[in-house]
Structure 1
């Protein structure tokens, strides 16, 4: 006699912690991208400081126009990089979150398949929708 396909003793339902652990890399990379984006958002403030320092404390040859141009170019690059990093962080965070939600819903549906049919049928379709969709989020 072969054991049933879904045996309670053989498989254990995943916990929220275990599902999040499965997707830890995406969450960590998203957080790091967000931190880098926040660091890049400081560039305009640094540029104002460096420009003011260049204008009000010129060297022996006067104000270095080339340095001010480099400060402006660096600032523009940092602002563009901030947007790219923030967008990538947001995208990765959403993809990871929806993968976690999908995994939880699949685990819940698998669990519902293993409980007695009478317990499932006692609930209305609206309750089941709420359980699988609204309560998971």
Structure 2
């Protein structure tokens, strides 16, 4: 893009590049086991009741719900949540999972620890 550029021209070019995409789509809500995450508003409900999560807890739960039934290793989760350059302690993930489980109350059983592998979100019967 040639600089300087006026705001109306910049806006027109951005609209052309984006096309007629909708900001919201069917993938805006993740749910499973009575837990519902609304991604645009970053809200969580447990059987219809609101639940307050930190940014990291929300990201962990969203990652697990996107990959239902799939084991995510500790390294995969750390990379997805904190990035490749994470310098923190390995137990940081365990602490956040523990805090998330305590906030999910009876729904915490859906987050399953797979020994020597990682974590997964499982739909329980």
Which TM-score band applies after superposition, normalised by the shorter structure?
under 0.3
Q: Which has the higher contact order (CA 8 A, sep 6+)?
A: 1
Answer 1 or 2: which has greater strand percent: 2
Q: Which has the larger radius of gyration?
A: 1
TM-score by length of 2: 0.26
TM-score by length of 1: 0.25
Answer 1 or 2: which has greater helix percent: 1
